[in-house]
Amino acid sequence: MKLGSLAAALAAVTAVAGSAAEASSIYHFQVVDIEGRSVNLEQYRGKVLLIVNVASRCGYTYQYEGLEALYREYAGRGLVVLGFPSNDFLGQEPGSNEQIKEFCSLKYGVTFPMFARIRVKGRDAHPLYKFLTDKRTNPRFAGGITWNFNKFLVGRDGVVLARFQTKEEPASEPVRKALEQALGS
């Protein structure tokens, strides 16, 4: 997809998504996948989601391996990891969507859904991330994205169940415990 058409697709999806304040769950948002296709998050209703802002040139990039391992281990029980590349922190995701996809696939064998690069903080943050970080829409786990690899665990009903900061490894006990509970072990 050419840059101009991708920008147009992003603008259209953002317009359809509406504002974060109007949404009552993550299912009210549309995003663009890494291939440039519009994706309604409604398609993940009934799944447990781990939403992560990712970057290819970060000291925590190795977490792709742990995220992929979680996805492979728990996908059969309903977990979907959603990766949202962002260049918001020291330019650590400078590549095109094609370059990001190739890097993740070749270096870490990523098979979980990846999306087009977005903003996750500030005034221009994607509406999904505004929803995830706003006190009005997510009072229990609100607050700005502090760095790459922040993680939001979302239940089958679209409600945020937990939030994990960058340093919390995907395979850590707190993440696994929250996942098991969300998946109904």
- The domain in which residue 126 lies consists of 3-183
Question: Please, what is the average pLDDT of the chain?
Answer: 90
Domain count, the chain: 1
Q: Is the pLDDT of residue 145 over 80?
A: yes
How is residue 138 written in tokens? 């997510």
The one catalytic residue among 13, 39, 51, 58: 58
Q: What's this model's pTM, rounded to 2 decimal places?
A: 0.88
- Poorest-confidence range of 23-27, 52-56, 135-139? 23-27
Q: Determine whether 58 is an active site residue.
A: yes
Q: What is the Cα–Cα distance from 32 to 2, expressed in whole angstroms? A: 14
Handedness of CA 80, 170, 103, 53 (dihedral sign): positive
The DSSP secondary structure of 75-144, one letter per residue, reads GGGTEEEEEEE--TTTT---S-HHHHHHHHHHHH---S-BB-----SSTT--HHHHHHH-TTT-TTT-S-
CATH at 56:
3.40.30.10
185 falls in which pLDDT band (50, 70, 90)? low
